[in-house]
A = this chain, B = another copy of it.
Amino acid sequence: MGCTRLVVFFQMEERIIQYISKYVSLDQHEVQEILKELEFRTFKKGTHLIAEGQVSKECYFNIQGLVRQYEVVEGDDKTTDFYAEGDAIVAFESGAHQLPCTFNWVCEEDTTLVIGRLDGIRDAYARNPKLEKMSGLFITGEFGRYQTRASRFITMTPEQRYLEFLEKRPHVINRIRQYHLASYLGIKPETLSRIRRKISRKF
């Protein structure tokens, strides 16, 4: 491994430990054991992590980069989620029941991910109980995000959904195409343009 790649490697390791430490406290020995356990890799922009019809065998945790989830409906690309730094990327139905996945995950930037292999995760937890505890706490939070998101389509207007996205995910907004964002918000690109013009007039 070259010197620059080695520096990047240690930066990534440090970032992973920072994320885990938000949920559980780790001593030096536990840090070493967890780093031995975790596998991470950088995927080139444009790489598909999963495609419609495949069965999910891995889950991911985004350390750096951006992954977009989409489905193709009657020829149209529909964006159904974005996963940025700190987000878990899990196909729950496909992974839990070994069913064909209904969506695609594509890296919109060069993206560094921690890789969790679903068939080995129980063993990894047995070796590192704090990893299991952290995952439980983390996943419960992710659950909340999905529960809230489904409700937003009922309780909020498209403009409110856009403003919430601006507020909660400011680190994502300038890295995505406008028609992907419109699709994610459940509106037409023209409607998103109108909302943005209306808001910009207010400030």
Contacts and interface: CB of A to CB of B under 8 A. Distances in A.
Interface of A: 69, 71, 73, 78-81, 90-93, 95-97, 102-103, 137, 139-151, 153-155, 183-184, 186
A96 B23 CA distance: 12
Contacts of A95: 140
B155 A78 contact: yes
A144 B94 CA distance: 8
A184 B141 CA distance: 23
Residue among A73, A143, A183 facing the most chain B CB atoms (10 A cut-off): A143
Given A96-B143, A146-B150, 13 more contacts: A78-B154, A80-B151, A81-B150, A92-B143, A93-B141, A93-B145, A95-B140, A102-B148, A143-B143, A146-B146, A153-B186, A154-B183, A154-B186
Can you tell how many copies of this chain the complex includes? 2
Closest 10 CB pairs of A and B: A93-B144, A92-B144, A146-B146, A153-B153, A80-B151, A92-B143, A96-B140, A149-B150, A150-B150, A78-B155
29 contacts: A71-B155, A78-B154, A78-B155, A79-B154, A80-B154, A90-B143, A91-B147, A92-B143, A92-B144, A92-B147, A93-B141, A93-B145, A95-B140, A96-B140, A96-B141, A96-B143, A96-B144, A97-B141, A102-B148, A102-B151, A139-B143, A142-B143, A146-B146, A146-B149, A150-B150, A150-B153, A153-B153, A154-B184, A154-B186
